[in-house]
Amino acid sequence: MKVKQTLVQTIAAVYVSLLLTSWAAAQASRQVSITIDDLPAAASNFISAADITRMTSKLLTTLRDQKVPAVGFVNEKKVYKLGEVDERIKALEMWLDYGFELGNHTYSHASLNRVGLKAWEDEVVQGEPIIQLLLAQHNMKLRYFRHPYLDTGRDLLTRREAEAFLVERGYRIAPVTLDAWDWMYAPVYDDAKKRQNAALEQELVKSYLSYSDAVFAYSEQLSVKTIGYEPKQILLLHGNQLEADHVGELLDVMRRRGYRFITLEDALSDPAYSLSDTYVGEEGRGWLDHWAISQGKPPQGGPVFPQWVMDRAQKLRRPQP
Ligand SMILES: [Zn+2]
C-alpha cells in the first residue's frame, strides 16, 4: 500500500511538474510580427517585372505555407516602369490574394528628416492610390504606415505634426523593434548569384542568419533592460531575393528562440507601443532605442555588423533602399 501511494504521488508530482513546465513555456513564448518594406521590390530599378513576380511568389508561398502573417509596405513609384506597370501592380496584388496586407511607405521612399514636413506629407498622399484601390477590391482599408529609413523627424514638433497628419488620414504607424539589416546583405547576395558564386552565396546566408540571431538576442535583453519585459516584437525585412530564398531559415532561427508569429494588429496591442517616446534625431532608429533614449539611457554594445559584408556592399555602390 505504502509503495503504491508513493508511486501515485510520484506520478502526480511528475504530472504537475509537466503542467508547470508547459505553462511556463507558454508564458515565456515570444511573439513577433513580420513586416516587409520597399515593395514591390527593394531593387526595383535593377530587376524585371518577371523577376519581381517570381521573387514575390516564392517569398509569399513560404510565409503562407507556414501560416506566418505579414504586412508589406509599398513605394508606389517603383510600379512605374515603362511597359511593366500592370505586371508590377499584379505583384503587389499577389500579397492580398495570398491573404497578406499592404501598407504605405511613401511614394518614393522619402525621408521625413531630409525632405521636410510638407513634401513628406505629399509623399504620403502620393503613395496611396494603387494600394488603396487594391485593398478596397479585397474589402480592406489602408491602415498602416512605415517611415522610410525609420526617420521619424529631427525635432519633436515635426515628429508630432507628422504623427497627427498620419492619424488624421487613418494610419497607425508601424514601429520596428527587430532589424538585422537584410538590405545591406541583399545587393551582395544578388551579385553572388549573378556571378554564380555559390560559396559566397552560402557564406552570406550563414552570416545573415547568425547576425540576425545575435540581433534578436541583443534586442530581447535590451527590451527587458529598458521596459522590464519583452514586448510583442516587430521585425523589419525587405522585399529582396535573399528573403525570398531564405526567409524559411530565418523563421527557424526565430522558432528556436521561442517565437511564434502574430499579426501586426496583435503586436500593436502591446502596451509598449503606447510608452512615452520623445526620440528625435538625424538617424532613424528602432523603437527599443527610442524608449531607451527617451529614458535617458542610450543603448550601448549591440552586435557589430560584419565588416566584410559592408565592404562588399559599398563596392557595389547600389543606393540604399
Ligand atoms: Zn524602406
Q: For the chain, which domains are there?
A: 29-316 (3.20.20.370)
Distance CA 50, CA 81 (A): 12
pLDDT for 85 beyond 50: yes
CA of 148 to the centre of ligand 1 (A): 5
CA of 16 to the centre of ligand 1 (A): 49
CA of 169 to the centre of ligand 1 (A): 20
How far CA 172 is from CA of 49, 228, 287, in Å, comes to 30, 24, 15
| pTM, entire model | 0.91
Distance CA 257, CA 212 (A): 11
Distance CA 104, CA 127 (A): 6
pLDDT band per the 50, 70, 90 thresholds, residue 8: low
All cell numbers assigned to 53: 513576380
In this predicted structure, what is the pLDDT of residue 14? 59
In this predicted structure, what is the pLDDT of residue 15? 62
CA of 123 to the centre of ligand 1 (A): 13
In this predicted structure, what is the pLDDT of residue 23? 47
On average, the pLDDT of the chain sits at: 93
Other C-beta atoms closer than 10 Å to the C-beta of 161 total 15
The helices-and-strands tally (H runs, E runs) of the chain is: 13, 8
CA of 19 to the centre of ligand 1 (A): 44
The string of DSSP letters for 200-239 reads HHHHHHHHHHHHHHHHHHHHHHHHHHHHSS---EEEEEES
pLDDT for 320 beyond 60: no
- The residue ranking higher by pLDDT, 161 or 13, is 161
Q: How big is the CA angle at 108 (ends 103 and 110), to the nearest 5 degrees?
A: 90
CA of 117 to the centre of ligand 1 (A): 18
Q: What would the pLDDT profile of 93-143 be if each residue is shown by its tens digit? A: 999 999 999 999 999 999 999 999 999 999 999 999 999 999 999 999 999
- What is the SS3 assignment for 84? coil
- What is the SS3 assignment for 144? strand
Instruction: Give the DSSP H or E segment for 319.
Output: none
CA of 9 to the centre of ligand 1 (A): 59
CA of 18 to the centre of ligand 1 (A): 45
Distance CA 248, CA 62 (A): 6
Q: What would the pLDDT profile of 53-82 be if each residue is shown by its tens digit? A: 999 999 999 999 999 999 999 999 999 999
Burial class (CB in 10 A: 0-12, 13-18, 19+), 36: buried
CA of 263 to the centre of ligand 1 (A): 20
Cβ 226 vs Cβ 295: under 8 Å: yes
- What is the SS3 assignment for 120? helix
In this predicted structure, what is the pLDDT of residue 24? 45
Burial class (CB in 10 A: 0-12, 13-18, 19+), 47: middle
- The residue ranking higher by pLDDT, 52 or 19, is 52
CA of 5 to the centre of ligand 1 (A): 65
CA of 81 to the centre of ligand 1 (A): 19
In this predicted structure, what is the pLDDT of residue 126? 98
- The residue ranking higher by pLDDT, 23 or 76, is 76
Q: What radius of gyration, in Å, describes the C-alpha atoms of the chain?
A: 22
* Mean pLDDT, rounded, for 13-41: 73
Tell me which residue has cell 499592404: 102
pLDDT for 166 beyond 90: yes
How far CA 278 is from CA of 78, 155, 207, 221, in Å, comes to 32, 9, 34, 22
pLDDT for 3 beyond 60: no
pLDDT band per the 50, 70, 90 thresholds, residue 27: very low
pLDDT for 297 beyond 60: yes
pLDDT for 28 beyond 70: no
Q: How big is the CA angle at 177 (ends 172 and 180), to the nearest 5 degrees?
A: 125
- The length of the chain in residues reads 321
Burial class (CB in 10 A: 0-12, 13-18, 19+), 90: middle
Other C-beta atoms closer than 10 Å to the C-beta of 92 total 22
pLDDT for 13 beyond 90: no
pLDDT for 7 beyond 70: no
pLDDT band per the 50, 70, 90 thresholds, residue 317: confident
Q: How big is the CA angle at 315 (ends 281 and 58), to the nearest 5 degrees?
A: 80
Distance CA 321, CA 41 (A): 9
pLDDT for 305 beyond 70: yes
